[in-house]
Chains A and B, each alone.
Chain A
Amino acid sequence: MNWTAYLPMLWQGAVVTMTITLSAILFGVILAFVFGILRVEGGPILSKVALCYTEVFRGTSLFVQLFWFYYALPLVGLSFDPITTGILVLAAHAGGYGAEIVRGALSSVSVQQMEAARALNFNRLQTLFRISLPQAVVEMMPAFGNLTIETLKLSSLVSLISIADLTFSAQSIRNITLDSTSIYSVTLVCYFAMSLMLMVVVRVIERMVRRGNAFPRAAHS
């Protein structure tokens, strides 16, 4: 049987992959900001908590994290469907890396900016949200772009907990048609197309952020 008959199935898989990736990035970015800010501004205890979070999720394999959350969480009474589990684990993983991006960008805001804020009597929260974060966000954008693509590619691992994403669908079709070359070629193109689309979105957001800021760097980027 010709593999083209299975294209709708592949399309469904691609939709699942895109849904999981976008949700994971959305939650991942939120986690990244929460824990990245806590790393810098959280005081002695909360910054340690944030450090633990980033190190655990950066330091262990996503593969194992997926299985652990899939099999271990139900044992403590937390049972999610596979898609939710996949999104949560991917988000936590992206959040771990993203928190480091946020922390790095926040620390790169110059001491002089902090002193100017202090001289104008802004308190810590005002300094964070009005002065440092708006400048740091511009610095974060390229790294968040990479993280987005990375999350898309890592999302193929969720096929291992029986989610019918693009990779899972490709494998199923291959098992039926035994035409590995064609099906994996199409799958590659699909991933590449999705990553291109994500990159365009990231670029648009980056440009919006830069325009809102009118940094000198924006002129020659």
Chain B
Amino acid sequence: MTDKPSQPIIEFSNVTKRFGTLTVLDDFNFKVAKGEKVTLIGPSGSGKSTVLRILMTLEPFQEGRLALAGMSYHEPNGKGPFKASEKHLHQIRSHIGMVFQSFNLFPHMTVLRNVVEAPVRVLGLPRGEAECRAVDLLAMVGLADKKDHYPSQLSGGQQQRVAIARALAMRPRVLLFDEPTSALDPQLVGEVLSVIRGLAHEHDLTMLLVTHEMRFAREVSDRVCFFDKGRICEQGEPNAIFGAPKEERTREFLQSVLS
């Protein structure tokens, strides 16, 4: 995959996503530049998590075009709900990592194995090398001393930090965060946010973050997108969106979450 400098790494063109009769994304257009850090905010049910789930190929979409660094999700003669072969989806997924709201660590594996398993099985890295990198990543999220623990022995904040290390171990170019702190006790939110903040300085890593932490969104994002009813209602630099929102609905939403 070769990137032209001007080419967006993510490009939704007129994408429509329906669950039965419910339209979640409606003629949706959205571009993200390589290395950009974009935060998606908006009321629940406005389609922001769906954007991430479609990107991760956890959900198919019905109409429009989606491309990752120029590679289309749908194949010309692709079959099934994803209109693509498993091999093609595998290739797309190899560029993307995802951090889930409920962490989703594998409960039967130690922290180290959680981080090592996919690089060894999927990327084919030698176990020793994968373990070295895993230990580095765990050190980066501040959990090197927990590598032999099981997820059930960790706090929510620690589990989420392991989940971030696990996603990074696959060396994604795009990292998706789906409400990474929403399931955490308030006192554990900070430790996860500070790890994400550290990643925001990685120049090459493209980040999409769905969150309700408005102050954090303002601090780390290059761009904030306000979602409403399956479309981006307003977007811009954090200071513009939070400081002087143009749309009435954006103002209402921000008032309701910030007050």
Contact = CB atoms under 8 A, between A and B. Distances in A.
B167 interface: yes
Interface string A77-115: 000000000000000000000000000000000001101
B56 A119 contact: yes
Contact of B94 (A121, A134, A215): A121
Contacts of B121: 122, 126, 130
A123 B89 CA distance: 11
Interface residues of A, number: 21
Interface stretch (B24-32, B36-44, B98-106, B133-141): B98-106
A186 to B, nearest CB: 44
Contacts of A126: 121-122
A61 B235 CA distance: 68
Interface in B199-256: none
Contacts of B96: 119
B197 interface: no
B111 to A, nearest CB: 11
A120 B167 CA distance: 7
B170 to A, nearest CB: 6
Nearest to B121: A126
B156 to A, nearest CB: 13
Contact of A216 (B107, B117, B122, B170): B107
Interface string A177-221: 000000000000000000000000000000000001111100000
Interface residues of B, number: 27
A165 B86 CA distance: 53
Nearest to A213: B108
Nearest to A216: B152
A116 interface: yes
A135 interface: yes
Interface in B148-181: 150, 152-153, 166-167, 170
A121 B100 contact: no
B106 A131 contact: yes
Contacts of B94: 121
Given A122-B118, A216-B152, A115 B93 contact: no
Contacts of A216: 107, 152
A116 B121 CA distance: 15
A118 interface: yes
B90 interface: yes
B22 interface: no
A119 B98 contact: yes
B57 interface: yes
Nearest to A118: B58
A115 B100 CA distance: 9
Contacts of B93: 118-119, 121
A119 B58 contact: yes
Nearest to B91: A121
B97 interface: yes
Contacts of A116: 100, 104-106
Contacts of B56: 115, 118-119
Contacts of B105: 116
Kindly list the 4 A-B residue pairs having the minimum CB-CB distance in the complex, ordered from nearest: A116-B104, A120-B118, A214-B150, A216-B152
Interface of B: 56-58, 86, 90, 93-94, 96-98, 100, 102, 104-108, 117-118, 121-122, 150, 152-153, 166-167, 170
12 contacts: A112-B100, A116-B105, A118-B56, A118-B57, A118-B58, A119-B93, A119-B167, A120-B166, A134-B108, A213-B108, A214-B150, A216-B152
